[in-house]
Structure 1
Amino acid sequence: MPFTSLVKPRLAEIITSRGLQNARRGLHELGRRARGARHEVHYFHDASDPYCALTAQVLPAFEARYDIALRPHLISGPPAEAVPDPKAHRENAIKDATRLAQKLGLDAPKADGVTPEVNARLAAQLGEPDFAQHLKTISAAQWAGRDLPAGKQSDPAAATSAGDLKLRAMGHYLGGTFYYGGEWYWGVDRLHYLEDRFQSAGLGTGPLLVPPPELAFDSQDATPKTLEFFFSFRSPYSYLAFDRVQHLADQCNAELILRPVLPMLMRGLPVPKAKSRYILQDCMREARRLGIPFGRICDPLGSGIERGYALFDYAESEGRMGAFCSTFMRSVWSVGVDAASDKGLSQIVKAAGLNWPTARDQLKSQTWRRRVEQNQNRLQDVGLWGVPSFHVDGQSIWGQDRLWAVADLLGTESKQALPGFG
């Protein structure tokens, strides 16, 4: 086994460990105390982002609850390399933000777009102590399609330029994000992690403002449906979703269609370094919350992916497609198995209940490319580009943290909490 295949998984395990996280947090706190500084939270707002429309609704209550100094910034939007398909990204964001708002009891964005007046109003309020309340009021009017309340304005160009530079320098690319003590928290979806951190530090108490949606389902009322699941062996979010999707489909008596696609880098789509870093951090905490092993990573990009995908036909012929995919991702994302080597891939194959000599004979097969190409075309047809993604009952859903939405479409009424879904 190459030296890097031995060392990198252990380095990844250290990087994603709770011990290192706690050490970094401790160093941050020591530095803050030495400076005599308050607990500063940076918030980056993109007025055109529907997810920011949700964040704006909870920001005043968040600021009031915790002993923090909120530092707001305006940004102009994500860089082009972070959004491979802007049109599909925009359409999905509006649908998803609407669905999430309904789930959380927030006001869903009804209007689309932002006028120059919105950023001019927000720029004029940036230095005000009650910015969060002004933001909530202005954003509510904007996304409801109403006239903005009267107020002062300022040229937003300088403010958004400064915000863009700050966001990039601090290491992120999206709006609706919070930064505190070396860690990022995206939107209302991840605000509960920041709240947990504050409450553990004694900065505030009370029920979470935005607890993660619970996934619950009454399988007795389910009408059998077809669930298409798009995933990639190189996507850690796909790994976090895979076994849970299989369990959900079983509970709902749904026909699960597995649709593997190539990783974005192998499809020629850019993945900025800031995005990769955030995904690793986010998957680490999501895995802990869900009780899923994660962290000893051996990246299968390239030959590891191709060798794994070459075994699809064999695994499917043995009725072990789901078991093989699950074992492969668990092996590369939590055990550090090198799928590019015969030793590593044979370990995966055997653990999935398949025969290694038979599998080895299939490694030169290229028939998987046709399957993957068809799946990628299908993914585009349903209006998405990334994974993990789902298509059920005529609707497309993106993200491992949207399984509650998949369950809502598969069933009729949420009653029974499913284990392991958090």
Structure 2
Amino acid sequence: MAQSEQQVFKDQGGAATMDPGFILRWATSKVMQQMASPKRMEKHRAKAEKLRCKLGLPHTLEYFHQVDDGYSHLAAQLLKPLLARYDIKLVCHLVAGPVGDNVAEPDLLLKLAQYDAGLVAPEYQLDFPQQQSLPSPELVSLATSILAAQEQTALLGCIVEVGQALWSGDHSALKDLAAAYGTVSEAVAGKKVQLGSEHQKKLKHYSGAMFYYGGEWYWGVDRLYHLEQRLAELGIDHQPDLPLLMPRPPIEVGEIKDNGSLTLEVYPSLRSPYTAMAFDRAVQLAKDTGVNLVVKPVMPMVMRGVPATREKGLYIFFDTAREARAAGVPFGNAYDPIGEPVRRTYSLYPWACEQGKGTQLISAFLKAAFTERVNTNNDKGMRYVVEQAGLSWQQAQQKMGDPGWQSLLEANRQTMYGMGLWGVPSFRLLDKDGKQVLALWGQDRLWLFAREINRLLSKG
């Protein structure tokens, strides 16, 4: 670290001491920039392909299936199509899914996965049974024992059928499948899941519904287009003239414009990479469709005491950059705003809203922190953010640090949790009566909100 980049303060003895908060921001910023680099990604891909050729190995795609995860059931439906379309060897593993610091709300995650999978399945021309409750532990155990009993070829032959019976809550159908395909004991099944999870951990990931190819991870059906594009570039697409199996859904705006009868709520965080790449697009979606926009910021998860592992952080930085490039959104020239920059900006938010500039303040901060590498931990950086939002720096200095914003953000967090959501960015669509129509987490669901808005407006 160059001395010019250092930030110091005087301790009680008068000696110069490195600001620990600065060290964290500097280190995280460097990591974000590295993970966001397209040159780095291209270099790693070329290295992986060179090694594969040197060893004479096939193009091997590994898939990690979590039996009780709705997203995994969607992903499983693409296994055979992927094998038919691309010259690959497919290896499937059973895994337990995220645990410990890799998952903030495990119970909520399973429910959200079921709800979300049911919504996106028809949009992707896939199937997901509509059930109100999660599969019982007994059914999950039986489904796992069936899948654990299968070798690779047989597993591909029954994984979708077993998942369909499981998510339909059809105990009778699962028993018939158990009789047809065979089962293993709970202990043997558990060992197989353990081995799959340990293998995934060695490859530095933690989640179900994940595809792994050549050192890179792809989450479920939503990231398959990245994988397909990579495989096509390698020249192993048997049908290069056809559209991708799972193309990236566009955010489409219909011809009918709303008069503000619908409301789109956006729950952003000032330290979220995914929020940084999605916030302006959500604002633009509301503007283009004419729906009323309501912004409800929340504290970053890590500043709420929610831990995260290094593996999770690295994947998020890389995945956000990859998604941003695909969407044509600038991202990655970052200076981590964790801590005081976030608190100072949120203390200005109520005042900015009074000036009609609350949305602009959040947008300006996210741009500065994640695309312009502005150090928001000093007055120079904060002034830049404030003035980019169209606000007075002189007035902002008088308002900065005002209390009251904490209760506002906590109320927003509780509302978000009340919807069964906890991560950012989250979105909620309300109808003209204020009734919830759709509530989901993730920048990769804006296209679904756009489609739902179009459907509602077309109904009149």
Same fold (TM over 0.5): yes
Residue 209 of structure 1 aligns with which residue? 245
How far the C-alpha of 1:9 sits from its partner, in A, is 4.4
Q: Is the 1:43–1:176 Cα contact (8 Å) retained in structure 2?
A: yes
Aligned equivalent of 2:57: 37
Which residue does the alignment assign to 2:375? 338
Q: What corresponds to 2:399 in structure 1?
A: 362
Match of residue 397, structure 1, among 440, 443, 450: 440
CA contact (8 A) 1:217 1:411 kept: yes
1:7 shift after superposition: 7.9
> Residue 355 of structure 2 aligns with which residue?
318
Q: For 2:94 and 2:166, how far apart are their aligned partners in 1?
A: 16
Tell me, in whole angstroms, the C-alpha distance in 1 between the residues paired with 2:56 and 2:66.
Answer: 31
Which runs of structure 2 are paired with 1:6-155 in the superposition (5 Å)? 9=29, 12-111=32-131, 112-113=134-135, 114-125=139-150, 127-146=151-170, 147-148=173-174, 149=177, 150-154=180-184, 155=188
Q: 1:202-241 to 2 correspondence within 5 Å?
A: 202-204=235-237, 205=240, 206-220=242-256, 222=258, 224-241=261-278
* Contact residue 266 and residue 425 of structure 2 kept, 8 A: yes
Identity among equivalent positions (%) equals 35
How many Å separate the matches in 2 of 1:266 and 1:210? 36
Residues 196-205 or 372-381, more deviating: 372-381
- State the superposition RMSD in angstroms: 2.0
Range with bigger deviation, 309-318 or 287-296: 309-318
The one-letter amino acid paired with 1:299 is: D
Deviations 1:239-274 (A, max 9, x none): 111111111111222221111100001111122222
Instruction: Provide the C-alpha distance between the structure 2 equivalents of 1:120 and 1:345, rounded to a whole number of angstroms.
Output: 56
Q: Distance in 1 between matches of 2:248 and 2:40?
A: 25
Tell me the TM-score normalized by structure 1: 0.93
Match of 1:409 in 2: 452
Residue 250 of structure 1 corresponds to which residue in structure 2?
287
Deviation at 1:24, TM superposition (A): 0.9
Distance 1:365 1:90, change over 3 A: same
Q: Which residue of structure 2 lines up, in the alignment, with residue 420 of structure 1?
A: none
* Contact 2:257–2:288 (8 Å) recurs in 1: no
Q: Which secondary structure state, in structure 2, belongs to the residue aligned with residue 179 of structure 1?
A: strand
Cα separation, 2, equivalents of 1:389 and 1:15 = 24
Residue 209 of structure 2: aligned partner: 176
Could you tell me how far apart the structure 2 residues matched to 1:81 and 1:352 are? 36
- TM-score, length basis structure 2: 0.85
Deviation string 1:220-249 (CA, Å, 9 cap, x unpaired) is 264621221111010111111111111111
Instruction: Name 1:387's counterpart in structure 2.
Output: 424
AA at the equivalent of 2:423: G
Structure 1, residues 353-380: CA drift from partner, whole Å, max 9, x if none? 2221221222221221121111112112
| Unpaired stretches in structure 2, ≥5 consecutive residues | 7-22, 431-435
Gaps of 5+ in 1: 416-422
Q: Residues of 1 paired with 2:34 and 2:210: CA distance?
A: 25
Indicate if the aligned counterparts of 1:311 and 1:362 stay in contact, CA closer than 8 A.
yes
Deviation per CA, 1:138-172: give whole Å up to 9, x if none.
22332233413311223312210101111111111
Q: Contact 2:263–2:294 at 8 Å: present in 1 too?
A: yes
> Structure 1 171/6 Cα, relative in aligned 2: closer, same or farther at 3 Å?
closer
Local SS of the residue matching 2:77: helix
Residue 418 of structure 1: aligned partner: none
Q: Give 1:26's aligned amino acid.
A: A
Q: Which amino acid aligns with 1:214?
A: P
Determine helix, strand or coil for the equivalent of 1:260: coil
CA distance in 1, matches of 2:206, 2:148: 20
1:288-299 equivalences under 5 Å are: 288-299=325-336
Amino acid at match of 1:141: A
SS of 2:166's equivalent?
Answer: helix
Shift of 1:389: 0.7
Q: Report the CA distance between 1:11 and its aligned residue.
A: 5.8
| Residue of structure 2 equivalent to 1:277 | 314
Between 6-15 and 288-297, the greater mean CA deviation after superposition: 6-15
Question: Given that residues 315 and 354 in structure 1 are in contact (C-alpha distance below 8 angstroms), is that contact kept between their aligned partners in structure 2?
Answer: yes
Max Rg structure: 2
Matching residue's letter, 1:151? Y
Kept after mapping to 1: 8 A contact 2:37/2:332:
yes
- Deviation of the 1:381 alpha carbon: 1.9
Report the AA paired with residue 270 of structure 1. P
Return the alpha-carbon distance in structure 2 between the equivalents of residues 220 and 329 of structure 1: 31
Provide closer, same or farther for how the CA distance between residues 389 and 15 of structure 1 changes in structure 2, counting only shifts above 3 A.
closer
- Whichever residue aligns with residue 257 of structure 1, its letter is V
